[in-house]
Chains A and B, each alone.
Chain A
Amino acid sequence: MIENRPILAVLTHLVLILGVVIVVFPVYLAFVASTHGGGDFLRGLVPLLPGPNLFANYEFMLTEGLTTAGAPPLWIMLLNSLIIALVIATGKIFISILSAYAIVFFKFPFRMLAFWVIFITLMLPVEVRIMPTFKVVADLGLLNSYAGLTIPLIASATATFLFRQFFLTVPDELMEAARVDGAGPMKFFRDILLPLSRTNIAALFVILFIYGWVQYLWPLLVTTDSRYYTIVMGIKRLAATADAEPQWHLVMTAVMLAMLPPVLVVILMQRLFVKGLVETEK
């Protein structure tokens, strides 16, 4: 806005601050909860200031965990989640950039059919095809394995579509210039297309890492062995205890730790992420 009236500035800031408070307050509460001792929540009054048990709680959860709830130490679950999110993000990018390359730059029979087949899988997310997918994964003996946790989530129409849209904006002359310069298809892909897609890849990596990190239903189905639990499904197990009060301070510790990696990824890749969404290097 070009208008420069102080009252408007104050008002817009108020709205923004209100929004931030609404978003941040629950997070703050979770943090406060993770710093208190065991009994502090049973009185029904939620404390608003941090307590003294910060390091004790985090150390306990990371190294031992709530064995009574059947959950392994948090570091195992965090590691599992990290592995799964990384494999899903890189796997999706790898497969979709190659399929988009094939669809955009090569002429082969049924090219558009191939694209549309990939595209309509957008209508079939994991939750819709969960039973058949589970059956396939179980028959292949992939239950309780990293392969079973990641492979069904890798094939991705969204990323293929995004790369396709980006590749379509690359001028034909660039490919023709590369051909005249003696670059074959793979060389063109590696030397020209991949560097140009850098910011897109970064943006997608952030989105897909978080997508992989927050997977809940699928890990819940395919893992029975606690060695393969992921953090997001693990939190549910921590909170659901059969005959005792949930240990909220420890659950919140787990929540805080589960939140950390995606936040870090966003913060560290923010610059590339924004660049990838708003500009193209052409």
Chain B
Amino acid sequence: MASIDISAVKKIYAGNVTAIHNLDLTIPDGELVVLVGPSGCGKSTLLRMIAGLETITEGTVSIDEQVVNKKEPAERDIAMVFQNYALYPHMSVRGNLEYGLKNRGTPRDEIDRRVAEAARILEIEPFLDRRPRQLSGGQRQRVAMGRAIVRKPKAFLFDEPLSNLDAKLRGQMRIEIKRLQRSLKTTSVYVTHDQLEAMTLADRLVVMNAGRIEQVGAPIELYERPATLFVAGFIGSPPMNLIEVDYLRGRGDDLKLPEGTDLCGVRPDTIQVADPGEPSVRLDATIELYEPIGGESHLHLRLEGSGQLIVAAVPARTAVVEGATIPLFVRIADLHPFNRDSGRRTD
């Protein structure tokens, strides 16, 4: 077990393409950190630099307080779980689990003990003598995890491990990864582009965009107080609505917003159909589409005056009809003030 320190790391690819700009990040021992961002934001590159599969142009990566820039992946004592599992197709499940241990010269009885333990934890004992191709996607995913845990490495690195699974299985495996990481307490870095996966798994969430870190924090912190417009739009589903301050002024109670605010973020679930009786703004909008999704319903609305499209999440049985124009209320306390040019929060 170990902490991971990334300090002033840069990655410049051939042709002067900068994938990572001067990035700093510290991952304390035992924490599960999720790197999330749109494709091409540099999250996988960063993970691969920690793993040693990608060279580091500038800066240092340390694992367990040792600089590992020049070390081979095997010498870094990390284990990686790949998106396509990368199981050795010609080896049995047992062979796959053993391979890394054998290469390290682990004694035979120790190998057997660890494989048995990993197989028990992941419930893959019945498949130990099968080939990967005889397994389902979920089972392969378990084997890939098993290959990581038998090694008892200093850190787990996950590179979008669940994106090849169907939605239901993904949910199950997500819970299992979380449980496993909790019980093993191994420092982990997890890369995903799925914000739901990121929110539910992370001890700490790192939102990346265009090779830079946008915000680091506990998932709920990021949801409740996004530091930038990018994070505001990326975290949360349906995404946050962004409405011009000029439009909000004069609708409802007095707006007291910090200097420089020209855009306000409104979470869909903070839009209410009834007057909350607190300082709030009132919006009038036409319902274009009513989307019941079970526990709640989504209203796709067109604002009167500006014609902007917004989404509101309201309780399931809210009595509304499509085409009607209704009043909506947002508490002033629920507004997220932003400056459009800097892209940053203003309060």
Binding site for B on A (CB under 8 A): 171, 173-174, 176-183, 187, 191-192, 195-196, 198, 281-282
Contact = CB atoms under 8 A, between A and B. Distances in A.
Nearest to B78: A180
A192 B87 CA distance: 10
10 contacts: A174-B88, A177-B88, A179-B52, A180-B80, A181-B103, A181-B147, A183-B99, A192-B88, A196-B90, A281-B90
A176 B82 contact: yes
A259 B149 CA distance: 56
Contact of B100 (A171, A182, A196): A182
Given A176-B80, A177-B147, A198-B90, 4 more contacts: A179-B73, A180-B74, A180-B79, A192-B88
Interface in B58-85: 72-74, 78-80, 82-84
Interface string B37-57: 000000000000001110000
Contact of A196 (B72, B73, B89): B89
B104 A182 contact: yes
B89 A282 contact: yes
A79 B115 CA distance: 50
B86 interface: yes
A173 B86 contact: yes
A230 B84 CA distance: 51
Given A182-B104, A281-B90, A282-B89, A177 B80 contact: yes
A171 B87 CA distance: 10
B86 A171 contact: yes
A106 B72 CA distance: 15
B106 to A, nearest CB: 10
B73 A281 contact: no
Contacts of B88: 174, 177-178, 191-192
Given A171-B86, A176-B80, A181 B99 contact: yes
B82 A173 contact: yes
B73 A195 contact: no
Given A171-B84, A176-B86, A187 B103 contact: yes
Contact of B72 (A179, A191, A192): A179
Contact of A182 (B74, B87, B133): B74
A198 B90 CA distance: 10
A176 B151 CA distance: 16
A196 B100 CA distance: 18
Nearest to A282: B89
A257 to B, nearest CB: 38
Contacts of B147: 177, 181
Nearest to A196: B90
Nearest to B105: A182
Interface string B118-152: 00000000000000010000000000000100010
B89 A177 contact: no
B52 to A, nearest CB: 8
A195 B82 CA distance: 21
B10 to A, nearest CB: 21
Contacts of A174: 86, 88
Contacts of A191: 88, 99
Given A180-B51, A183-B103, A191-B99, A173 B84 contact: yes
B86 A182 contact: no
A278 B264 CA distance: 60
Interface in B265-321: none
Given A173-B84, A176-B73, A176-B80, A181 B100 contact: yes
A187 B133 CA distance: 23
B217 to A, nearest CB: 30
Contacts of B72: 179
A96 B261 CA distance: 67
B230 to A, nearest CB: 29
A199 to B, nearest CB: 11
B53 A176 contact: yes
Contacts of A195: 90
Contacts of A192: 88, 90
B83 A281 contact: no
A145 B274 CA distance: 99
Nearest to A197: B90
Contacts of A178: 88, 99
Contacts of A173: 82-84, 86
A181 B105 CA distance: 12
A193 to B, nearest CB: 10
A182 B76 CA distance: 10
Given A187-B103, A191-B99, A195-B90, A179 B84 contact: no
Interface in B161-197: none
A177 B86 CA distance: 6
A180 B100 contact: yes
A173 B80 CA distance: 10
Contacts of A177: 80, 82, 86-88, 147
A173 B83 CA distance: 9
